Amino acid sequence: MKVKLDISDEYSEKTIVIQSPKDDQEVVDLVQKLESIIQELQKISGYHDDTVYQLDLTEVLFFETNDRDVYAHTSDNSYRVNQRLYELEEILPANFIRVSKSTILNLDQVRSLTRSVTGNLIEFKNSYKQVYVSRRFYKDVKIKLGKKDY
């Protein structure tokens, strides 16, 4: 079995391709292990009071620093996480983007981006929570959301 790695700016997301002359048990085992790893990467541990929760990244609206702690916000709660924002940036999937010095958001959970004189405001689906996008990151967020005009 050979392993090849092809890295290029042309790719918008990570893709794993298995090329095999036949569909045998080794291929089946490899696919199952890869799916298990991918599932594990889609979760993060969050702490609320004295309880540890396994949070699905799909449910996380945004990560935010508060004092010296980092919190994962869902639609109904917030959970302290052990990673720093720069560490999260390295491990989170491509649908998470930095929007300010203290915030990383999940683009899949964004309902709207409003630009006004007072700031650029993100509103989320199924939540009252909002975050501000700094001017420095606004253009990247706008491009990632695939919007032309606001």
At residue 141, φ and ψ (nearest 5 deg) are -65, -45
Number of C-alpha atoms within 13 angstroms, CB side, residue 94?
Answer: 7
Higher pLDDT, 55 or 14: 55
User: Which pLDDT does position 104 carry in this prediction?
Assistant: 96
pLDDT on residue 51: 93
Contacts of 26 (CB under 8 A, 6+ apart): 1
Q: 68 versus 39: which is more confidently predicted? A: 68
Per residue in 84-136, pLDDT (tens digit) is 999 999 888 888 999 999 999 999 999 998 887 778 899 999 899 999 999 89
* Contact between 47 and 114 (Cβ < 8 Å): no
* Alpha-carbon gap, residue 62 to 98, rounded angstroms: 9
SS (H, E, C) 50-77: CEEEEEEHHHCCEEEEECCEEEEECCCC
Domains and CATH numbers, the chain: 40-145 (2.40.50.1020)
Using DSSP bridges, classify how beta strands 96-100 and 78-81 pair: parallel, antiparallel or unpaired. Answer: unpaired
Nearest to 72 by CA among 46, 54, 51: 46
Residue 150: pLDDT band with limits 50, 70, 90: very low
Does this model's pTM top 0.75? no
Banded pLDDT at 11 (limits 50, 70, 90)? confident
Contact 87, 81 (CB under 8 A): no
If you average pLDDT over residues 26-31, what whole number do you get?
88
